[in-house]
Amino acid sequence: MYIAIAGNIGSGKTTLTQMLTERYRAKAYLEEVDNPYIGDFYEDMNRWSFNLQICFLGNRIRQTMEMLKDNRSGVILQDRTIYEDAHIFAGNLHEMGLMSGRDIETYMKIFGLVTELIPKPDLLIYLKASVPTLISQIRKRGREYEMNIDAAYLQRLNDKYNHWMDTIYDGEVLTIDKDREDFVEDASVFEAICARLDALKAGE
């Protein structure tokens, strides 16, 4: 059973991945942040946005292939998906004028070829959160490089996520409203998520 967790920066993806990993004794496949283009990108975003995103895409493809080979305990858990790389982050860079039309077209062609070769998650858990909730979570975890993330940028990403969920992604989805459903503070929320996974697992 392949479970993926999607959501904006600060939505709690890694925390939920780790909680579910412990419950199901599976291995956590966390988002990889190491990218040799990241420094160049922040120096000249227009020049390096395509390189940055292609590198992230390649890392995600490799991770997904490794993950599918390592199916421990019948449950696979992935923190952030290949779909978000394309429809959220690359798409946002293009809309902001930081990736050319030619580059986004090439990127999406590669993405399209790859996604024909890998399975969709059996369930995608979407952690939906308002910008104030995201900012609160970001401040709480205290990563220095995230402290200056702009609220307007988070809202742009939220808009991209909502569009992706409403009109593009066609797989099975469980949406958790983080403004009202805190799986860390409220054990019943976490148990409800696990009940959904257990039902899927029983139906395999």
Residue 20 CB neighbour total at 10 angstroms: 21
CATH 3.30.930.10 fits 2-202, yes or no: no
Per-residue pLDDT of the chain (204 residues; tens, 9 = 90+): 899 999 998 999 999 999 999 999 887 888 877 788 888 887 898 999 999 999 999 998 888 888 877 765 578 899 989 999 999 999 999 999 999 999 999 999 999 999 998 889 999 999 999 999 999 988 877 666 566 678 898 999 999 999 999 999 999 999 999 999 999 999 999 999 999 999 998 876
Q: Is 80 helix (H, G, I), strand (E, B) or coil?
A: coil
Catalytic residue among 40, 79, 85, 170: 85
DSSP-based three-state secondary structure for 143: coil
Would you call 177 a catalytic residue per the annotation? no
Domain locations in the chain? 2-202
